[in-house]
Structure 1
């Protein structure tokens, strides 16, 4: 609940910052365009609105694509534009001619869209005012530069905090899944409860994918950002912690099937269930404690997660020396049997 409220607060603040940036950059770009003699100053804030993206890198790339698209679009029609009548057929012909080369060169699709938009507007407005083509080039450059500068100067986007927040939430949910699995094992691996656990596992996988997306966005937000300080180190350590949690997820999702098969074969004893239940519970408790300890020492959004060290957890399960010698082969054997069973192969008797 606490994490959810923090996320809502973060989204609200992010939205207000975006509004502020667009408003300030639009006003500044309009005045700068007028200062340079533009007769169509609205073209500068138009570029601003389109160029301000979720990160500085995205903003810079979009601004660059818009400038290139504008220059290419004007260059492709400027010599013939005055000799053509404005109608649907000439517009369609110019768009086809102007975009064919960029498509063949496989340039970024944003550039292609900007070329098409430029051809359309320049062709229409140049017949009404001879200043439009010049204004469009100059004002597009002004708007692009102002958008990027504002992105850098006013609260530059930084999604490391958001990534850490989702990582912490995923870790707590993973710890809960360990605890539920331990309880399930200790209570004879009931099939109905197994179905609920599998649903939880699927939901957690979706959450893991979301965490990975947040980390990619956080990594991109630090590029071209001059105010990251130690954010790169924090993100790198959090990524290492995420790798460990992914290994924990892979483990718990795998043993669910193994315990279910073991219970169905009616080979698992009460003592084995109790030992494995304790083992899984200890692993999940350790993961949860590590995340909660980080939350207590610093806000989750600014957390620097300590890497997991499972060597401190005693192993509850012991096997005979004979089985120890064959444990790798047995592991491969069991995984292969499970694969053949899941994919419809014949189970080895």
Structure 2
């Protein structure tokens, strides 16, 4: 993960340097007396994803336009002091608020009013340069972001997904061992602790998949990775079902353990069922960048069908409330796989 962060920072460093240099030169070519305004927009508009960059850029353009329209004419007719600046900011930001614009626009309005208020007296072209250079910086920042190593978090999402699958499989295996060989040894608290970590990883993976999906918006070379992420989203439904199953089963097993009644046949049967689920989710670790191995998928299907057939042979027992609960939760999970 640290290597990935370094790679992302390296990409940002190069993008910022190249886009800033190009935007400065383009601003000079169109006659700007304040070419530094174009790189300023580049630096501000290079966000983590192309989608965020575009939205921030639009907010910056709108905020800049409102600030210039309100300030450019008045500044030459008003005395320069803090109270006048405050009134202009109040008026500009109230207009943006009245138009129900984003909070980012409010900041851009205030920033533009401050800079135009300060520099327009000394340079009559500042307001015009600001709007033109802002457009130049925004366009160049987005183009560089799109075509020069565009943001793509698909690989990170895949790594997070596989880590989640590993944790889910391990907990199911832990439950199997608990039932078969560690009954009455107080394993419930340890499993619940691991479940808390699993829940955190589940949320992390969901957020990572969402971030990866957002990073592919407006990405010109993202078609294949969009397909990959859609596969992961489908598999996440099974992960959710797996977590819900474990959560309910652990409560049942803890209560069952207090009673202490678990026959050898029940230990074998329940332990084997949990082990099969562990093997099922363990195969998810074999998914590489969304490419699901057909052999692995067939093996998963065979595991599920085998367990489903076995469950049909044993109708829900009526004499043991805990086994009934275990049976019903297992059927529920099978319906979601």
- Structure 1 vs Structure 2 CA RMSD: 2.4
Shift of 1:235: 1.2
Q: Structure 1 stretch 151-160 or stretch 271-280: which is displaced more?
A: 271-280
**Cross-structure match for 1:22:** 16
1:70-121 CA distance string (max 9 Å, x none): 0011112223221222221111111111111222332111111101111111
1:275-321 CA distance string (max 9 Å, x none): 211211121022213423x3xxxxx3x34236653523436667864
Secondary structure in 2 matching 1:62:
helix
**Cross-structure match for 1:314:** 307
Secondary structure in 1 matching 2:307:
coil
Give me the whole-angstrom Cα distance separating, in 2, the residues matched to 1:24 and 1:157.
16
Secondary structure in 1 matching 2:223:
coil
Per the normalisation by structure 2, the TM-score is: 0.87
**Cross-structure match for 2:78:** 84
Q: Structure 1 stretch 283-292 or stretch 127-136: which is displaced more?
A: 283-292
Please tell me whether residue 125 in structure 1 is matched to residue 122 in structure 2: no
- Within the candidate set 11, 31, 40, 2:34 is matched to 40
Pairs within 5 Å for 1:200-219: 200-219=194-213
Residues 17, 119 of structure 1: alpha-carbon distance in 2 compared, 3 angstrom cutoff = same
- Within the candidate set 228, 245, 252, 2:246 is matched to 252
Pairs within 5 Å for 1:130-149: 130-149=124-143
Give me the whole-angstrom Cα distance separating, in 1, the residues matched to 2:311 and 2:265.
11
**Cross-structure match for 1:266:** 260
**Cross-structure match for 2:97:** 103
CA contact (8 A) 1:276 1:317 kept: no
Shift of 1:184: 1.8
- Within the candidate set 176, 184, 189, 2:178 is matched to 184
Per the normalisation by structure 1, the TM-score is: 0.84
Secondary structure in 2 matching 1:314:
helix
Gaps of 5+ in 1: 1-6, 295-299, 336-349
Q: How many residues align?
A: 317
Secondary structure in 2 matching 1:130:
coil
**Cross-structure match for 1:228:** 222
CA contact (8 A) 1:17 1:155 kept: yes
Give me the whole-angstrom Cα distance separating, in 1, the residues matched to 2:91 and 2:223.
48
1:210-255 CA distance string (max 9 Å, x none): 1111111111112111111322211111111121112111111210
Please tell me whether residue 242 in structure 1 is matched to residue 239 in structure 2: no
Pairs within 5 Å for 1:143-162: 143-162=137-156
